[in-house]
Each structure stands twice: as C-alpha cells, then as structure tokens.
C-alpha cells in the first residue's frame, strides 16, 4: 500500500514537473538547448546572463527555469547561429520585450542619474571634504611644525 502511494507520488511529481517548470528552482540551461559550437555557446551564456527572465523575480534567463526563459535562451541561440553580433541579439530581444529585459540598463536620459549617482556621490563627498578642511584650517590654526617639534622635545625630556 505504501509503495503504491509512493509511486503515485513519484508519478505525480513527474507529471507536475512536466506541467509547471515555474516554481522549482532547478536546472536552467538544459543540454538539449546548448549549441555544438563552444564559442557561440559561450557567447550565448554571456548574453543570457544580462537578460532578465520576465516572469521571474530578479533572475536572469540563464539562471531561470521558467518556460519563457527557455524560449528566450533558444531565441538568443537562434539569432547567434544566424550570424548576429551580441549587440544585434540584445537589440532584437529589447525590440520585442522592451528595456525591462535588460539587467544592465542602457545609459540614456532616464538612467543617467542611476549611472552617474555613484560617481557623483564620490566626487561630491571628496569635494565636501576638501572644502570643509579648508574652512576648519582657516578658523582653527593647528600647531606649526616648529611648535610641534618643541613640544615633542619637551615630552621626550620628561622622565
């Protein structure tokens, strides 16, 4: 009886797996999708890592097990086999699915702030530090080198 139950469960598992590849975080790239040409395949993998699986949560199509991701992986490979450059492949996917598909957004007006922000923060921070240094240097004069040296002498003489 238990064995029957178990095998029913296993059969259900198989059925379920074939029906819905969505939830199970399982295999992404499958052997049957892969290209025979290793260079093309490597390019396909690199491109796949930059494309978002549209129905998933923060996964690239390279990592995802969703059906849509599989379709996109196959599409990327088809375009590569047809002789597209990496850029053309990505442009083609974007023209079909929109900018949302790119995990690394392109530099445009609306993403300017995104790309510039880190470096702007660094520059502004450095500028602010330099500015505030100059200001404190004006208001509070530290000991001169000569004074410091004398101070050190006095301190050293102390037993």
Tokens read off for 83: 């002789």
Phi, psi of 31 (to 5 degrees): -55, -35
**Nearest distance in Å: CB 44, another protein:** 12
Residues of this chain, 60-89, that bind another protein according to CB under 8 A: 60, 63
Asked if 105 interacts with another protein (CB under 8 A), we say: yes
Tokens read off for 23: 């939830």
How far apart are alpha carbons 91 and 99 in whole angstroms?
10
Nearer to another protein, 58 or 95 (CB): 58
Asked if 55 interacts with another protein (CB under 8 A), we say: no
How far apart are alpha carbons 97 and 100 in whole angstroms?
7
Beta carbons of 106 and 99 less than 8 angstroms apart? yes
User: Site for another protein (CB under 8 A): how many residues?
Assistant: 54
Asked if 94 interacts with another protein (CB under 8 A), we say: no
Beta carbons of 44 and 69 less than 8 angstroms apart? no
Q: Mask 6-35, x = binds another protein (CB under 8 A)? A: xx-xx-xxx-xxx----xxxxxxxxxx-x-
Give the angle 141-143-144 at the CA atoms, nearest 5°. 105
**Nearest distance in Å: CB 56, another protein:** 10
Beta carbons of 43 and 84 less than 8 angstroms apart? no
Q: Give the interface with another protein as residue ranges (CB under 8 A).
A: 2, 6-7, 9-10, 12-14, 16-18, 23-32, 34, 49-50, 52, 57-58, 60, 63, 98-105, 110-111, 113-115, 117-118, 121-122, 125-126, 129, 133, 136-137, 140, 142
């Amino acid at each position: 009886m238990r064995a029957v139950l178990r095998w029913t469960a296993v059969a259900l598992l198989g059925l379920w797996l074939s029906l819905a590849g969505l939830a199970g975080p399982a295999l992404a790239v499958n052997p049957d999708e892969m290209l025979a040409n290793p260079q093309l395949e490597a390019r396909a993998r690199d491109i796949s890592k930059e494309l978002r699986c549209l129905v998933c949560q923060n996964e690239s199509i390279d990592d995802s097990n969703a059906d849509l991701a599989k379709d996109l992986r196959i599409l990327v490979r088809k375009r590569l086999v047809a002789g597209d450059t990496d850029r053309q492949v990505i442009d083609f996917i974007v023209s079909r699915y929109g900018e949302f598909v790119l995990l690394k957004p392109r530099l445009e007006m609306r993403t300017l702030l995104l790309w510039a922000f880190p470096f702007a923060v660094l520059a502004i921070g450095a500028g602010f530090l330099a500015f505030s240094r100059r200001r404190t240097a004006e208001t509070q004069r530290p000991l001169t080198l000569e004074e410091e040296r004398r101070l050190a002498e006095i301190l050293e003489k102390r037993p």
